[in-house]
Each structure stands twice: as structure tokens, then as C-alpha cells.
Amino acid sequence: MILSVSGLNLFYGDAQALDDVSLEVDEGDIVAVVGSNGAGKSSLIRTIAGIEKPRSGRIVYKGEDITGWPSHRICNLGVGQVAEGRQIFAGLTVRENLEVGAYLERGRARSAETMERVFGMFPILRERAEQQAGTLSGGEQQMLAIGRCLLGQPELIMFDEPSLGLAPTIVQEVFGIVERLNADGTPIVLVEQNVALSLKMANRAYVLENGRIVLSGPGEDLLQDDRVREAYLGL
């Protein structure tokens, strides 16, 4: 097991965002966390990443308790995040955005090699390496956000709403990238509103409602669950 979250509780003031949330990620997994807007999906990702501090619960990564660690330490340990809304630096060039990903110690030694890997995965980024990132399309910015994450040499990648705001054809392309990264050996946590696509590709999935896990199991099993089909697929 590479990641274990147990009994996680998160509050924003008096409002509870996560209520006794537990999940597991094994080596080689794609784990989907699905649910409607406001269910607590992004709060979960941000807490694992160290951006939010839980009131209680444990987060264990590769056998080490990282609960409450600052985000830069968690990132430097190998937990990568592709944030909701891409969050690229619009005024920097594509190359400069990628270089930011290698700022932490674990990313520096192999930065040139990884830059070439990213350019190989996303040839459009090589073509536009000296272009300001803010002029890229939404799909290209998502590729840049993924590439920037890869420059940090992650051993686990958490995707937060990677399809948000993208055209359907680009969504399929982004999900293909997620599957490719997983096939190369990287475990994935995929937080998504696109329930059908997420469950089809997930080894394990969790349904989050109002901050609580209400269903869990293999992705294909949840895709056939009548509660999921009615609530999220309109079937």
C-alpha cells in the first residue's frame, strides 16, 4: 500500500468538510473519488497534499505518518498534485512553468531528462516552450500542469478535476494521459465529477457525499450500482 487515509476529519471554522473519511491506494492503482460539486473531493486532495490541516485522522504515505506535514515536505516525499483549474503561471513561459516543477530537491537531479520526457509526451509544449503560458488553450494548459507535476518526480499523482472546463475530445485525451502514466507505474488518485469515465478506468473507487464516503468498491462494480446510476448517471 502506498497511501492510507483513515478517519479523516476536516473543518472550515464550524463547517465540517470531511467526516471520518478513509481510503487506500495500492501500488499500480487508479483510485477514483467521485461525487457531486461540494461533496468534499477537493478538500480531501488538499488535506492529503498538506494544504489543509485535518482536525483528526491519519494520512500514511509509504509507511510514514505525514498527517499535518507542510505541503512542500509532502511534495518532496513524492506526492504530486495536478490542481483543480490548472493553476499555471500565466505570465511565465511554458518552459519556465515546467522549471518551477523541478524547484524541490527531488526534481532537480533529473530535470533535463524529465523535461525531454514531458516534451515527448506533449509535443505542443515543445513547440510553444517560449510562449507565455496564459496564451495556451485550456487543454494545453492542462498538459502543462501535468508536465509541471512530472518535473517533481512524483511517485503518486493526485488529479483534482482534470476534465473541468475542457471540450469532450480533450477530456478523452487527458484521461488517456492519466491511464498512460498509470501504465508506466505511477499510482493515481483521480478526483472527478465525470463519474462514468472515472469509474470505467478505476481499480477502486469511492463515492463521496457531504464529506462522507457512502460507497466504495471496484470501479466497474460501482458503475453498475443502481444508486450510482440514478444519482450520477441519470439512468
Q: Is residue 13 in a domain?
A: yes
Q: Is residue 14 in a domain?
A: yes
Instruction: Give residue 190's identity as a one-letter amino acid code.
Output: L
What CA–CA distance (Å, rounded) separates 187 from 207? 19
Residue 235 has pLDDT above 70, yes or no: no
pLDDT tens column, 154-173: 999 999 988 888 888 888 98
What CA–CA distance (Å, rounded) separates 114 from 225? 41
Q: Is residue 141 in a domain?
A: no
Whole-prediction pTM? 0.91
Q: Is residue 234 in a domain?
A: yes
Helix (H) or strand (E) holding 98: helix 94-101
Q: Is residue 151 in a domain?
A: no
Q: Is residue 85 in a domain?
A: no
Q: Is residue 91 in a domain?
A: no
Under DSSP, the state recorded for 94 is H
The whole-number pLDDT of residue 37 equals: 84
Under DSSP, the state recorded for 166 is -
Q: How many domains does the chain have?
A: 1
Span 197-226, mean pLDDT? 94
pLDDT tens column, 59-88: 999 999 999 999 999 999 999 999 887 789
| 16 DSSP β-pair partners | 11
The domain in which residue 56 lies consists of 1-78+156-164+186-235
Q: Is residue 177 in a domain?
A: no
The whole-number pLDDT of residue 169 equals: 87
Kindly state the cell numbers that stand for 15: 463547517
The domain that contains 28 carries what CATH number? 3.40.50.300
